[in-house]
Amino acid sequence: MVMAPSDFKTLVKRFYVLQAERVEAYKLFEEGHEAYLRTGPHYDFQHYRQLVHEITQAFCGISKEVLEIKERLHQDFDRPDLSEHIEKLQTKEKQKLELTAQLQLAKQKAQDHPDDQDCQSKVQEIKHAIIKNREALSEILEDFKYDMEESE
């Protein structure tokens, strides 16, 4: 079954919408964690755990749909180049989520032990890794955009 180009464009648009949703989810996750840290030293873990649960569900839903788009680009539109970019992107997104979780733990530890220089260093180290990760994500998205436009 051959799809109309408009379907291809619709699929790509949906991919960009999902990426924007991911960015929004990270913002909510970070804001929620900041609010959680403000409840210290007797942390309100219940609210935070609920937030983590909701964010995890959001990321799972986004990932599932992004993987479906990856599959369709490869199968229906014969665009292994684009699906490869998405594959790389998913790997980096998974890494970003892991780093974000590590950063949140490190921030709480640093807050609980303000005089411990190792805790402060760990926060900086993870922040640096997140910056590197974001740069890699931007590069992958650039490559995706370039390859997509080249074929039009």
The enclosing domain of 120 has a CATH number of 1.20.1420
> What stretch of H or E contains 98?
helix 80-112
Per-residue pLDDT at 5 = 52
Residue 135, pLDDT above cutoff 70: yes
Count: domains in the chain: 1
Give the dihedral of Cα atoms 74, 78, 80, 81; nearest 10 deg. Answer: -130
Domain span at residue 124 reads 5-150
pTM exceeds cut of 0.85: yes
Q: What's the whole-number average pLDDT of the chain?
A: 93
